[in-house]
Amino acid sequence: MRKPLLVAALMLHTILFVKAQEISSPDKNLTLKFELQENGVPTYQLNYKQKQVIKTSKLGLETKDVPSFLDGFSISKTEQSTFDESWDPVWGEEKTIRNHYNELLVTLTQKAVQDRYIRIRFRLFNDGLGFRYEFPSQKNLNYFIIKEEHTQFALTGDHKAFWLPGDFDTQEYETVTSNLSEIRGKMKAAVTPNVSQTTFSPTGVQTPLMLKSKDGLYINIHEAALVDYSCMSLNLDDKNFVLESFLTPDAIGDKGYMQAPTQSPWRTVIVSDKAADILASKLILNLNEPTKYKDVSWIKPIKYVGVWWEMITGKSTWAYTDLENVQLGITDYSKTKPNGKHAANTQHVKEYIDFAAKNGFDAVLVEGWNQGWEDWFGKTKDYVFDFVTPYPDFDVKELHRYAASKGVKIIMHHETSGSVRNYERHLDTAYKFMVENGYNAVKSGYVGQIIPRGEHHYGQWLVNHYLYTITKAADYKIMVNAHEAVRPTGLCRTYPNLIGNEAARGTEYEAFGGNNPDHTTILPFTRLMGGPMDYTPGIFQTQVSAYNPENKSFVHTTLAHQLALYVTMYSPLQMAADLPETYNKHMDAFQFIKDVAVDWDETHILEAEPGDYITIARKAKNKEEWYIGSITDENPRVANITFEYLPKGKTYEATIYADGKDASYDKNPQSYAIRKVKVTSKTVLKQQVAPGGGMAISVK
Ligand code: NOJ
Ligand code: CA
């Protein structure tokens, strides 16, 4: 009676042996199973500590011109290996990063397509999974066009999601926190207006997507090393809770032009039962290539101020004159009437340089220095800026001389007006101009619809453009901070002159109606997973009307919360975004911004829950100094600050910048209290944090 069962079991085992492969993470907490379905459809599953994270999910790509890579596969080879290596980033949250994973490489052959084969490479780390499609060079595979990638992430239930509407052109949305099943109902309200936006589905969302399951798993889905490929969004099947890749199309609807040998970006699933582990994960950086640059000595983290917030608030303007003058055909700006509100004038920029020099800042960003601003916003004009011609009141040479004499750099600004062709036409000249005039960093921007029309900010062509500007900049030893560009995917490891990106709703929105009080408790779990953000914190004058009476917006945090952001929003590029006149009134609190580091030896996530609170401690690079930031959402709380990372047996002085007793983001945002206490590695500090509040601590 037992025999047939045994035979059946053996047979099953053999079939599984051929068709299924399993690996586990180095610490054995995660297991990945690859399996071919009946009709040769590749699938994978992911488990964490015996719990399912990703149920059986299909893999594959649909092509336009050659047979698709979807089914009819057989496994022709599987290879397993282990990798364990540590590397030191040029700048970062840690001095040294460990890259430790077990790998499964599956070669899949389509017999019916002249034995054409692809590979799927899985890397299983202690903190999650990365996998990608590889298309080796071979006789029967050369060019192909992607119609759609069909990578699934089948979730186990109706998780809580921190999501942005899927969009090919912008990420400047508020995060919605809801169950997956509620996305469809909440989509319409979530799609707030933007100068360029293209949504694609009532259940489409962006990555990094942060999820929390009912049984307490934190799951983050994103991509790593997005190169020569379209950016991925996710489309949700909200009956079955299956997410599927949805690539950004080009102007004619194609999603990728490929030529073997090539590969897709990595698809990443970071998972833990502790939220703090998500923030500590280095998986996305580890999946990127080591730096391509031989000399990185010219790449340096930057703390800066800028001629910027005054324009964002409407106090002053980028434009030198009014549009009417330009419409009258006056092209010589020295003959037009100035509007009297142009901020980027030589005298005013010198004031910022003085302020930067006096307070130890590296640089001053100056926007609105070059001709063209009157005549582009919201229009689709091919040639607006040439990136080298200043307005008549901005003296490039004199400012170069003045800044250099004070030991301060000016940060260049290239607003491309979305006209990517025009920018590429001018790029070499623009970078040369920078070098000649002492600039070593540029903030670039892509406001508005992309030109050529029909292309999207996150399509393959644009993805290639952004990387081109970064590598080209490296030829000139220039660092890049790109706004409105595609969301980062860890490429700063390979190209560390990419020191900043926006690609989310930054502080500027506090002057455009406001960000939710929980905004910055979510961003580190979403947008920042791929790389640093130029969030531009440090607004002390939280009432925007103080600068522009017509603007009734206010900042949805307390002043102390703004200080904490220098620690909780990791970036090697940090701005003190408010106006010098305001900082001069709060020099005691400003001291924290002056002191705080922008490069780190160690990072310790002390407390974290997406949407609620984050507390992080970091050790400054090569210094015996620690900085701690703690923020909360609209709900007050008591933060628990521990100091066990301090060297044992030593006493340090901690300066605590806390919310005042009566502080709150909406009623009393500017109330703060500063005190000094002694701390050791054994100290545990309990500190009240106000609604929308925060706290910053420096330890020396
Ligand atoms: C949008 C950027 O995010 C902002 O910082 C910049 O000032 C404007 N574009 C103008 O280029
Ligand atoms: Ca909350």
Looking at the fold, whether 410 and 470 belong to one and the same domain comes out as yes
Answer yes or no: is 544 within a domain: yes
448 lines ligand 1 (CB under 6 A): no
CA of 445 to the centre of ligand 1 (A): 6
Looking at the fold, whether 397 and 477 belong to one and the same domain comes out as yes
| Cα separations in angstroms, 278 against 18, 506, 581 | 34, 22, 39
Distance in Å from the first CA to the final CA of the chain: 76
Ligand 1 atom nearest the C-alpha of 484 is 3
Catalytic residue ranges: 508
Q: Report the 10 Å Cβ neighbour count for 421.
A: 15
Looking at the fold, whether 260 and 364 belong to one and the same domain comes out as no
CA of 376 to the centre of ligand 1 (A): 13
Looking at the fold, whether 256 and 134 belong to one and the same domain comes out as yes
Rounded-to-integer distance, Cα 36 and Cα 14, Å = 13
Sequence-ordered list of residues with C-beta below 8 angstroms from that of 7, at least 6 positions apart, any chain: none
374 lines ligand 1 (CB under 6 A): no
Nearest-CA residue for atom 6 of ligand 1: 445
Number of domains comprising the chain: 2
Answer yes or no: is 391 within a domain: yes
CATH code for the domain of 426: 3.20.20.70
Which pLDDT does position 18 carry in this prediction? 57
Chunked into runs of 10 residues, the chain (700 residues) has average pLDDT values of 38 50 98 97 98 98 97 98 98 98 98 98 98 98 98 98 98 98 98 97 98 98 99 98 99 98 99 98 99 98 98 98 81 91 98 98 98 87 96 98 98 98 98 98 98 97 98 98 98 98 98 98 98 98 98 98 99 98 98 98 98 98 98 98 98 98 98 98 98 98
Looking at the fold, whether 329 and 236 belong to one and the same domain comes out as no
Nearest to 32 by CA among 85, 98, 80: 80
244 lines ligand 1 (CB under 6 A): no
Looking at the fold, whether 90 and 136 belong to one and the same domain comes out as yes
Which pLDDT does position 20 carry in this prediction? 85
Nearest-CA residue for atom 11 of ligand 1: 415
Q: Report the 10 Å Cβ neighbour count for 274.
A: 13
Nearest to 561 by CA among 636, 654, 504, 641: 636
**Token pair in block for residue 295:** 């000399």
Last residue of a domain, one of 598, 621, 649: 598
Ligand 1 atom nearest the C-alpha of 443 is 5
- With contact defined as beta carbons under 8 Å apart, do 342 and 391 qualify? yes
Instruction: Say which amino acid occupies 344.
Output: A
Answer yes or no: is 215 within a domain: no
Nearest to 131 by CA among 245, 268, 226: 268
Ligand nearest to the CA of 609: 2
Q: Are strands 160-163 and 209-212 parallel, antiparallel or unpaired?
A: antiparallel
Which pLDDT does position 611 carry in this prediction? 98
415 lines ligand 1 (CB under 6 A): yes
Polymer length in residues for the chain = 700
Domain range for 340: 302-598
Looking at the fold, whether 414 and 457 belong to one and the same domain comes out as yes
Q: Which residue has the tokens 């759609």?
A: 148
- With contact defined as beta carbons under 8 Å apart, do 209 and 164 qualify? no
CA of 527 to the centre of ligand 2 (A): 17
Answer yes or no: is 677 within a domain: no
- With contact defined as beta carbons under 8 Å apart, do 157 and 213 qualify? yes
CATH code for the domain of 63: 2.70.98.10
Q: In what order do the strands lie in the sheet with 256-259?
A: 61-63, 143-149, 256-259
Instruction: Say which amino acid occupies 586.
Output: H
CB-neighbour burial class of residue 119 (10 A; exposed 0-12, middle 13-18, buried 19+):
middle
Ligand 1 atom nearest the C-alpha of 318 is 10
Looking at the fold, whether 237 and 313 belong to one and the same domain comes out as no
The residue to mutate among 169, 196, 308, 367, having the most atoms of ligand 1 within 8 angstroms of its beta carbon, is 367
- With contact defined as beta carbons under 8 Å apart, do 311 and 260 qualify? no
CA of 359 to the centre of ligand 1 (A): 25
Instruction: Say which amino acid occupies 322.
Output: D
CA of 162 to the centre of ligand 2 (A): 11
Q: Where are the alpha helices (DSSP H) in 455-503?
A: 460-475
Rounded-to-integer distance, Cα 254 and Cα 75, Å = 29
Instruction: Say which amino acid occupies 493.
Output: R
CB-neighbour burial class of residue 666 (10 A; exposed 0-12, middle 13-18, buried 19+):
middle
Answer yes or no: is 112 within a domain: yes
Q: Which residue has the tokens 């910048």?
A: 657
The residue to mutate among 443, 447, 527, having the most atoms of ligand 1 within 8 angstroms of its beta carbon, is 447
367 lines ligand 1 (CB under 6 A): yes
Rounded-to-integer distance, Cα 186 and Cα 571, Å = 32
Answer yes or no: is 66 within a domain: yes
Looking at the fold, whether 392 and 252 belong to one and the same domain comes out as no
Nearest to 640 by CA among 628, 648, 650: 628
Looking at the fold, whether 402 and 449 belong to one and the same domain comes out as yes
- With contact defined as beta carbons under 8 Å apart, do 196 and 418 qualify? yes
Rounded to a whole number of angstroms, the CA Rg of the chain reads 26
Last residue of a domain, one of 598, 623, 648: 598
Looking at the fold, whether 473 and 570 belong to one and the same domain comes out as yes
508 lines ligand 1 (CB under 6 A): yes
Last residue of a domain, one of 559, 574, 598: 598
Ligand nearest to the CA of 612: 2
Ligand nearest to the CA of 631: 2
- With contact defined as beta carbons under 8 Å apart, do 417 and 385 qualify? yes
- With contact defined as beta carbons under 8 Å apart, do 641 and 628 qualify? yes
DSSP conformational letter for 451: B
Helix axes 460-475, 420-436, angle to 10 degrees: 10
Answer yes or no: is 346 within a domain: yes
Looking at the fold, whether 452 and 580 belong to one and the same domain comes out as yes
Nearest-CA residue for atom 10 of ligand 1: 415
Rounded-to-integer distance, Cα 172 and Cα 506, Å = 8
**Token pair in block for residue 255:** 């999603």
DSSP conformational letter for 693: -
Q: Which residue has the tokens 């929308």?
A: 692
Q: Are strands 51-58 and 218-224 parallel, antiparallel or unpaired?
A: unpaired
- With contact defined as beta carbons under 8 Å apart, do 368 and 342 qualify? yes
Classified as helix, coil or strand, 469 is helix
Answer yes or no: is 617 within a domain: no
CA of 696 to the centre of ligand 2 (A): 20
CA of 633 to the centre of ligand 2 (A): 6
Ligand 1 atom nearest the C-alpha of 308 is 7
The residue to mutate among 411, 457, 483, having the most atoms of ligand 1 within 8 angstroms of its beta carbon, is 483
**Token pair in block for residue 8:** 């059946």
- With contact defined as beta carbons under 8 Å apart, do 266 and 158 qualify? no
483 lines ligand 1 (CB under 6 A): yes
Rounded-to-integer distance, Cα 116 and Cα 76, Å = 11
534 lines ligand 1 (CB under 6 A): no
Helix axes 396-405, 346-358, angle to 10 degrees: 10
- Torsion angle of the four alpha carbons 599, 602, 604, 608, in this order, in degrees rounded to the nearest 10: 30
Sign for the pseudo-dihedral over CA of 477, 481, 483, 489: positive
**Token pair in block for residue 416:** 């491309």
CA of 522 to the centre of ligand 2 (A): 9
Planar angle of CA 607, 613, 526, nearest 5 degrees: 95
